[in-house]
Structures are given as structure tokens and as C-alpha cells.
Amino acid sequence: MGLMDGKSAVVTGAGRGIGQQIAYVFAEQGASVVINDLEPGPASETAAECNRIRGGSAVASAGNIADRGYTDQLMKTAVDSFGKLDVLVNNAGVTRDRMVHQMTDEEWDLVIDVNLKGTFNCIRSAAPYMRDTAKKELETEGQPRYHRKVVNFFSTAAIRGNPGQMNYTAAKMGNVGMTRTLAQEWGRFHINVNAVAPGFTDTRLTKPKEDGDGVLGVPKAIRDRMIANIPFGRPVDPREVANVVLFFSCYLSDFVTGQEINVSGGHQIP
Ligand SMILES: NC(=O)c1ccc[n+]([C@@H]2O[C@H](COP(=O)([O-])OP(=O)(O)OC[C@H]3O[C@@H](n4cnc5c(N)ncnc54)[C@H](O)[C@@H]3O)[C@@H](O)[C@H]2O)c1
């Protein structure tokens, strides 16, 4: 028996990092998963691993969640492949860090389009399959058959404020507002809507900037300072975030909605 047996899920940005671990844990727990990523290669590799090793059933869908036409197609893929859509995880995100006085329109727009509008696009595109199906069950059977789940992402950096991330922190706190609003709009349809804030998590977004392409990552000195402030003494493992997403995605959280959890190893937020 798995915690996600019989469930059909879409996970965005699941080609690597936290999203990939969410896909793996869902597959291990019996879910059928649509693996979205902007990049086709990582999406296909994650889907293949879910099918081959993790015991679940997965299909890959490459595309940009900032594009509403694509997100309509993404949600339809879940229904075409697995017959329904029960769980939506809005994990995909991107950074383009720069101090505000130097930030370009392109850096602002990209980060808002993916992290904020991308979540909105996915939720709106999922509505016909999640909200409308639950509404029909409510009208014909007296109540929705079970709880469906939406899990959004924000960030401890956004709660705290983070120099160089005006665009990212604005987008991520917007996800908190969307979570609280959607929990109220869709509560009567028994669709739980919650949000997870990873702390400093070991993915390409937090690798030393000096070791990468200079676009993603965190300067080494800041990175060391951030890790020193984590009481558990190390960055979060992506799997540890995935486990909390699993809680929000399965029956264990059926009476929890409109809530946020930080997965930060105790990193204090003033
Ligand atoms: N790593 C951290 O410390 C940290 C902290 C707080 C919040 N987060 C959030 O957690 C989530 C996952 O981050 P991660 O660290 O695993 O990042 P990551 O860069 O390792 O993985 C993100 C994935 O999203 C994909 N993606 C980017 N833009 C996309 C788009 N427009 N459409 C579809 N897919 C797209 C990327 O190709 C990538 O595979 C993000 O929302 C991020 O903001 C991460």
C-alpha cells in the first residue's frame, strides 16, 4: 500500500532538484505522474526513472509553464494518460538575482512569469479537471468523492527578504497569497491548497555561483554564511522537501488547507 495509490499528479519543474525528488517519492508511493520541465531531456530522464526503478507510472511533458496554452495541454496530458487529475504540485521556479538598482526588465519579467504567473496558469488550467469534477460530484452525490490537492512553493528567502532577489521574493510571497485565496475558493470542493517553503536546499539554485555559469547559484561567501545559520548545520536535502510535499498531497493532510510549512532545518526567520 502506497500513500499515493491510484492518484494522478502533475509536478512542474520535475526534471531535476526538488521537483525530481517529488516525482520519485510520488512514484514510490504508487502515483501516476506527469513530469513537466522546460527542458525535454531532464523531463524524460525523470519519467524513465519513475517507470523503471521507482515503481510508478510516469509520462514526460516538456514545456513552459509561463505559457497558458501549454499549461492547458499539460493538465490534459494527465487526464489523457491517467484518466483524471488529483494532485497539482507547482514546484517549477527560477532565479535571476541582481540588486534592484541594476535589475533589468527581462530579469524581473522572467522570474515573475515563471514563479508567479506560472502557478496561476497551472491552477487555472487544472480547474476543469479538479474543481469542476469535484463540483459535479458535490451536486450529484452530495459531496466530492475524496480530497484533491494543490501544493504551491514559496521560500524562506521571501519571508525573510533577500538582497538581490526583489523579483524572486515578490513572486514567492505572491504564491502565499494565491494559496490562501484558492484554499477559500476551492474549499467547498474539498480541494486542499497548501504551500511549502524550502530553506537553503542543495540544488543548482544554491550551488556556489563561482562554480557554475554565473547565472544561477549563490556567491560562496553568502552561501557559507547561510549554511552557518542553519541549526542542523547543513543545507536541506531535496528529498526532505519532497517528503513534506507528500504529506500535503496524500490523505494524511485531508483537513489541512490554506497553510504554509517551512522546511529549513530550523533556520530562523526574523
Ligand atoms: N533550492 C533552494 O534552496 C530553494 C529554496 C526555496 C525555494 N525553492 C523553490 O523550490 C522550487 C524548486 O527549486 P530547485 O531548487 O529544485 O530548482 P532547480 O533549478 O534545481 O529545478 C527547477 C526545475 O524547474 C524547471 N523550470 C524552470 N523554469 C521552468 C518553466 N518556465 N517551465 C517549466 N519548468 C521550468 C527547470 O528546468 C528545473 O529543472 C522552485 O520553486 C524554487 O524557487 C528552492
Nearest CA to ligand 1 atom 21: 17
d(CA 97, CA 111): 9
User: How many other C-beta atoms can be found within 10 angstroms of the C-beta atom of residue 93?
Assistant: 26
Q: What is the CA radius of gyration of the chain?
A: 18
Chain position carrying cell 494559496: 179
Ligand 1 pocket mutation pick from 94, 168, 248 by most atoms within 8 angstroms of CB: 94
The minimum-distance atom of ligand 1 relative to the CA of 90 is 41
Ligand 1 centroid–CA 94 distance in Å is 5
Phi-psi region of 13 (alpha: psi -120 to 50; beta: other; left: phi over 0): left
Q: Does domain 8-204+237-263 have CATH number 3.40.50.720?
A: yes
**What is the residue extent of each domain of the chain?**
8-204+237-263
Ligand 1 centroid–CA 99 distance in Å is 21
User: pLDDT tens digits for the chain (270 residues)?
Assistant: 899 999 999 999 999 999 999 999 999 999 999 999 999 999 999 999 999 987 779 999 999 999 999 999 999 999 999 999 999 999 999 999 999 999 999 999 999 999 999 999 999 999 999 999 999 999 999 999 999 999 999 999 999 999 999 999 999 999 999 999 999 999 999 999 999 999 999 999 999 988 888 888 889 998 999 999 999 999 999 999 999 999 999 999 999 999 999 999 998 776
